[in-house]
Amino acid sequence: MALVLLWQLASSTGVLPPEKLASPLTVAQSAGELIADGQLLDAFTVSLGRVFFGFLIGAAVGGASGLVSGLSRWGETLLDPPVQMLRTLPHLGLIPLFILWFGIGEEPKLALVASGVAFPLYLNLHAGIRQTDPGLVEAARVLGYSRFERVVHVVLPSAVPQTLVGLRIALGTAWLSLIVGEQINADAGLGFLINNAREFLRTDVVVVGLVVYALLGLTTDALVRVLERRILRWRTR
Amino acid sequence: MANPVSVRGLHKAFGARTVLDGIDLEIAPGEFVALLGRSGCGKSTLLRILAGLDRDVEGAAEVQGTVSIAFQQPRLLPWRKVWRNIALGLHRPDGRSVALKALEEVRLAGHADAWPLTLSGGEAQRVSLARALVREPDLLLLDEPFGALDALTRLAMHHLVEDLWAEHRPAVLLVTHDVDEALLLADRVLVLDEGRIVAEHHVDLPRPRRRASVVEQRTRVLADLGVDVETAA
């Protein structure tokens, strides 16, 4: 709050010229205008859609491969070494390849978000499954539970906490990937709004876009926290 | 009725190391047997074989009827409420009423909807016992289930196990390294050493037994275990 006041003061006194950074009041005003003419909502919807579908694809791929390599030995032999190798590569560095493979439309943006989601989800799901207490599995075995039942009743539930950690990292990376991905020739979305504003030196609009990014990130993070608190009730108290 | 446990010429080796070296053991229905031995003598291995957790053996280890086991650690699923952990033993998702009854038997009636992580060690172990007992087992295997508990809780657990055994009458095989525990609870005490049963003691004392009543046999069992009481005391 004090920071915003200081920022406003710097802008009003001319220490901070508007072509470097617009004043908070101007930003709020522009936000109001962008909301009023529907631009912000359109951009918001497009960006949210990209994150959503990118996340779905990434979660499906990361989740499925995490399950396969966590639950079966051959799956692990087959999948884990290449994934462990690839994960050392910053996925944002893949942009040039994605552009060559998928062009400059929606696909590379989705691919970027999806790859940002798939890795943390895979790693944490795999680790979560492997961390299952063998004692619990054994206890279920003596109670006559089949391998499939042991997976359902013991292995997967015990992988949930670690998977939720992965989910939170994945969502954070999803937004980051989106922001970077939307720099590639976007013709809609928050990234387009920001890039366009840059062309016209509209620092106020740039800031509005950044604030929306931040709010979206915070919101999804809060959602996962709520989810964690509900699902992991058994951990505390 | 066939004996719940019938073991003949059982051998078990881990690589070059022989753990069980020709075990013969019969346990009659409803009989309470304690298996005593030092750490690493193979007693837990024998229990695991009887529980069906280790099938890579030589010789015969036949078990008749339903088997339940309570481990040294309670091994409850922490994400399931206490009653659901007990219902796990029934192998069906319902069965709350059966679970509640079992909880009452182990004197934890109020804890049905508690999370396992909120229980004390003794309480968790009682839940584990209840989970083993709801199956109405013909054979109850107890793998040092009191080993991790404090002395007072352990005493209470001895009484509880004795009561439950009197009520349900499963055959019991209790693995322990506590001589007093074995003598207080069992009809028959076996001493296992280096993979062989080296001694067998019948305990024909009325129940509930008191520590003072088993002193005489205690000395003999300790001698079988290689402990000279005169110098040890």
Token duo for residue B45: 């291995």
Tokens 């009458």, residue? B169
- The predicted structure's pLDDT at residue B83: 94
The backbone torsions φ and ψ at residue B190, rounded to the nearest 5 degrees and listed phi first, read: -105, 140
Give the pLDDT of residue A187. Answer: 82
Q: Is B136 in CB contact (< 8 Å) with chain A?
A: no
Nearest to B57 by CA among B26, B25, B28, B21: B21
What CATH code is assigned to B5-66+139-232? 3.40.50.300
pLDDT (0 to 100) of residue A186: 77
Lowest-confidence region among A145-149, A160-164, A193-197, B75-79: A193-197
Of residues B67, B79, B81, nearest to A142 (C-beta): B67
**CB proximity B118 to A under 8 Å:** yes
- How many other C-beta atoms are found inside a 10 Å radius of the C-beta of residue B14? 10
DSSP run (H or E) holding B20: strand B17-27
- A161 touching B, CB under 8 A? no
- Across B91-120, average pLDDT: 88
Tracing tokens 């009725």 back to the chain, one arrives at B1
With a cut of 70, say whether residue B120 has pLDDT above it. yes
All residues of chain B having their beta carbon less than 8 Å from the beta carbon of residue A233 are 115
Q: How confident is the model at residue B231 (pLDDT cuts 50, 70, 90)?
A: low
Whether residue A137 lies within 8 A of chain B, CB to CB, comes out as no
Topology classification of domain A26-232: MetI-like fold (1.10.3720)
User: What mean pLDDT, rounded, does chain A reach?
Assistant: 90
**CA A86/CA B95 separation, integer angstroms:** 48
How many other C-beta atoms are found inside a 10 Å radius of the C-beta of residue B144?
Answer: 19
| Contacts across the A-B interface (CB distance below 8 Å) | 47
- CB A131: neighbour CB atoms within 10 A? 13
Mean pLDDT of A184-208: 86
Beta-carbon count within 10 A of B5 CB:
25
- Chain B CB contacts of A153 under 8 Å are 77, 88
Task: Report pLDDT for B114.
Answer: 93
Q: Does the CB of A158 have a partner CB in chain B at under 8 Å?
A: yes
Three-point CA angle B68, B71, B72, nearest 5°? 160
Which one of B54, B79, B118, B119 makes the best mutation probe of the A interface by having the most chain A beta carbons within 10 Å?
A: B79
For residue B73, give the nearest of A135, A141, A145 by CB distance.
Answer: A135
Band of residue A34 on the pLDDT scale cut at 50, 70, 90: confident
The answer, yes or no, to whether residue B186 has pLDDT greater than 90, is yes
Q: How confident is the model at residue A237 (pLDDT cuts 50, 70, 90)?
A: low
Higher pLDDT, B94 or A200: A200
DSSP B2: -
Domains of chain B: which residue ranges?
5-66+139-232, 75-135
CB count in 10 Å sphere of residue A38: 9
Among partner residues B80, B88, B116, which is closest to A143 by beta-carbon distance? Answer: B88
Instruction: Answer whether A157 sits within 8 Å of B77, measured CB to CB.
Output: yes
Q: Write the residue in B53, B115, B116 that is nearest to A138 by C-beta.
A: B53
- Among the partner-chain residues A142, A158, A234, the one whose CB lies closest to the CB of B51 is A142
- Residue % of chain A over a pLDDT of 90: 51
Task: Flag whether pLDDT at B25 surpasses 70.
Answer: yes
What pLDDT is recorded for position A219?
A: 92
pLDDT over threshold 70, residue B229? no
Q: Looking up tokens 């992965």, which residue turns up?
A: A166
pLDDT digits (tens, 9 = 90+) for B42-59: 888 999 999 999 888 999
- Residue range A94-103, pLDDT digits in tens: 888 888 998 8
Q: Which of B142, B226, B128 is nearest to B185 (CA)?
A: B142
Query: Closest by alpha carbon to B63, among B1, B135, B2, B144?
Result: B2
- In this complex, do A233 and B118 lie within 8 Å of one another by their Cβ atoms? no
Residue of A nearest to B73 (CA): A135
Share of chain B above pLDDT 90, in %: 52
- Torsion angle of the four alpha carbons A28, A33, A39, A44, in this order, in degrees rounded to the nearest 10: 30
B135 touches chain A (CB under 8 A): yes
Shortest CA gap A168–chain B (Å)? 21
Q: Residue A7: what pLDDT?
A: 87
Q: Does A147 contact B at CB distance below 8 Å?
A: no
Average pLDDT of the segment spanning A153-165: 95
Burial track A6-32 (b if 16+ CB lie within 10 A, e otherwise) = ebbeebeeeebeeeebbbbebbbebbe
Is B153 exposed, middle or buried, given 0-12, 13-18 or 19+ CB atoms closer than 10 A?
middle
- How many angstroms separate the CA atoms of B174 and B66, rounded? 16
A154 → chain B, closest CA residue: B77
Q: Is the pLDDT of residue B233 over 70?
A: no
Q: Is B2 on the interface with A (CB under 8 A)?
A: no
Q: How far apart are CA B207 and CA B109, in angstroms?
A: 26
Instruction: Report chain A residues whose CB lies below 8 A from the CB of B115.
Output: 233-234, 237
Measure A150 CA to nearest chain B CA, in Å: 11
